[in-house]
A = this chain, B = another copy of it.
Amino acid sequence: MSVTYIDAIREAQAKLLGEDERVFLYGQDIASFGGAFKATKGLAEAFPGRVFDSPISEDAMVGLAIGAAIEGMRPIVEMQFADFSSIAFNQIVNQAATHYYRTGVPIPITVRLPSGGTPGSGPFHSQSMEGIYAQYPGLIVLTPATVSDAYHMLIDGVALDDPVLYCEHKFLYRWLKAKSINGEHLPIGQARITRPGKHATVVAYSAMVHEAVRAADRLLEESGWEIEVVDLRSVKPLDMDTVLASVARTGRLLALGEAFPWGGVTAEVVSRVTEEGFHLLDAPPQRLNARDTPVPYHPKLWAAHRPTPESICDALRRLLSF
């Protein structure tokens, strides 16, 4: 028996619905159909009157969730794809994100964003928006990379009183499996050393953690370099203690992400490390992101658009050569 990443997301929602009557699910095609990716399969039947199909109205979906949160509920909104949250952008960044600061009333909503690229998905079903939302004050942005984190961080995220963007990676949905969901359970706001090493640190999150580990394995085999991989787990808040401690050990930093290359998570990580840990660095910190074009449709272009174990190895070799 094994559990996939998407199983974990479904199980977390089942547990939440079962244990907290304030939780309900709202989104397109999530009730009897079980969602475009089946993340809510069976939940409408198991929890009657708690799982609702919405019209194609992302702005209103989030607006409704915010209103319900004011009334004490803990709605989970499923975007069919993260990319469509651009329609709900205003409700997320202006209504939900500002509400606590303005009124003192927090907004415990969780918006699930099926994120990241898969082959053939093209420019509008592949985006990684964590770096966009993290720019706004008042939002918490989670980016689980493991089956166990997918489970625990969804549960812990819903328990937070503030608005949470839960960025789940579509590529991991069925590809990533674990024996059980009872992995190590860290609190939100704490990063994880996924793979210890001593020659360089790769700071990654979500699907890129796995690509980083692959690259690290390859470099170890090829040339004996021991690469440490840090999984941020949440990009806002950012656990700089763990990141800086790792850079203190290795002296070298590669910030790795799947989003577009201007700004975003990797820029924030590099900036924070250089501001706060400049003296720890033995070489210029590097970034590796997707290319500065929309995510291409064709699998051959897609594979060259995002970082791969090959391009990560290249970047690490450059980093290690300083």
Which residues of A approach B to under 8 Å, CB–CB?
83, 86-87, 89-90, 93-94, 97-98, 101-102, 123-124, 131-132, 134-138, 236, 259-260, 262-268, 270-271, 274-276, 278-279, 281, 283-287, 291-294
Contact = CB atoms under 8 A, between A and B. Distances in A.
A241 to B, nearest CB: 17
A121 to B, nearest CB: 14
Tally of this chain's copies: 2
Given A124-B94, A135-B263, A284 B278 contact: yes
A138 B89 contact: no
A265 B267 CA distance: 9
B90 A94 contact: no
Nearest to A259: B135
A258 to B, nearest CB: 13
B89 A293 contact: no
A278 B292 CA distance: 23
A43 B94 CA distance: 33
Contacts of A93: 86
Contacts of A136: 260, 262
